[in-house]
């Protein structure tokens, strides 16, 4: 199983905006700049989806790959 990487996230409509440290990255949804995705890479990766500004957390989860991320984003109505 291929693990989640930057290309996977960008292929779902997000763009890279910042790197917090070696393993922590933040992306924003191209169609809605207030939807952010924070990824802490590890085994498995920890993701946090939130609305920028008020930090209204939409979802926090541990995921392994793009399929799991896509499923979660669809469930919460981001995709």
* 20 class by beta-carbon count within 10 Å (0-12 exposed, 13-18 middle, 19+ buried): exposed
DSSP class per residue in 42-62: SSSEEEEEEETTTTEEEEEEE
Residue 18's Cβ-count burial label (10 Å; 0-12, 13-18, 19+) is exposed
pLDDT of the residue at 14: 97
Sheet holding 14-21, edge to edge: 14-21, 24-29, 32-40, 45-51, 56-63
pLDDT in tens, 24-75: 999 999 999 899 999 998 888 999 999 887 767 899 999 999 999 999 999 9
**16 or 54: whose pLDDT is higher?**
16
* pLDDT at residue 7 tops 90: yes
């Amino acid at each position: 199983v291929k693990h989640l990487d930057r290309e996977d996230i960008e292929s779902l409509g997000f763009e890279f905006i910042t790197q917090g440290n070696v393993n922590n990255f933040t992306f924003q949804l191209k169609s809605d700049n207030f939807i952010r995705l924070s990824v802490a890479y590890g085994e498995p990766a920890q993701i946090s989806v939130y609305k920028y500004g008020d930090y209204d957390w939409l979802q926090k989860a541990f995921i392994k790959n793009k399929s799991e991320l896509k499923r979660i984003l669809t469930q919460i109505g981001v995709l």
